Amino acid sequence: GAVVSQHPSRVICKSGTSVKIECRSLDFQATTMFWYRQFPKQSLMLMATSNEGSKATYEQGVEKDKFLINHASLTLSTLTVTSAHPEDSSFYICSARVNEDRAEQYFGPGTRLTVT
């Protein structure tokens, strides 16, 4: 149980284009999902908290107009990187909590974004 998927696993795009990453909870409903970014040899940095049916909460320093998050259903959250630049190249990982009683987060397999 508690499986989280991400799509795509890898994407290469040109500078200036937008990329959408999907995060799905496959066998549970997730009212809260989290989006992280990880640069090589660094830890996970929380970008935003995604709540079903409401606006995402962004961490300090993360541009909400650049990283659009939509949590349209209890099993799907999407992250759209708009007008991508090479410095946005990173490993993007989502996670979800199973329910309010379970504290641990389960992570998706990640999406490797390369902007050329």
Partner 1 sequence: GQNIDQPTEMTATEGAIVQINCTYQTSGFNGLFWYQQHAGEAPTFLSYNVLDGLEEKGRFSSFLSRSKGYSYLLLKELQMKDSASYLCAVRATDSWGKFQFGAGTQVVVTP
Side-chain half-sphere of 102: how many Cα atoms within 13 Å? 14
Of 87 and 104, which has the nearer Cβ to partner 1?
Answer: 104
Examine residue 8 and say whether the peptide bond preceding it is cis (omega within 30 degrees of 0). yes
Stretch that binds partner 1, among 13-21, 62-70, 73-81, 98-106 (CB under 8 A): 98-106
Q: Which of 57, 80, 82, 89 binds partner 1 (CB under 8 A)?
A: 57
Of 45 and 82, which has the nearer Cβ to partner 1?
Answer: 45
Sign of CA dihedral 68, 36, 102, 27: positive
CB of 108 vs partner 1, minimal distance in Å: 6
Q: Which of 21, 77, 78, 108 binds partner 1 (CB under 8 A)?
A: 108
Classified as helix, coil or strand, 65 is: coil
58-87 positions binding partner 1, by CB under 8 A:
none
Of 49 and 82, which has the nearer Cβ to partner 1?
Answer: 49
CA nearest neighbour of 88 among 13, 6, 9, 7: 13
Rounded Cα distance, 30 and 98, in Å: 6
Applying CB under 8 A, the residues found at the interface with partner 1 are 32, 34, 42-46, 49, 51, 57, 91, 93, 97, 103-110, 112
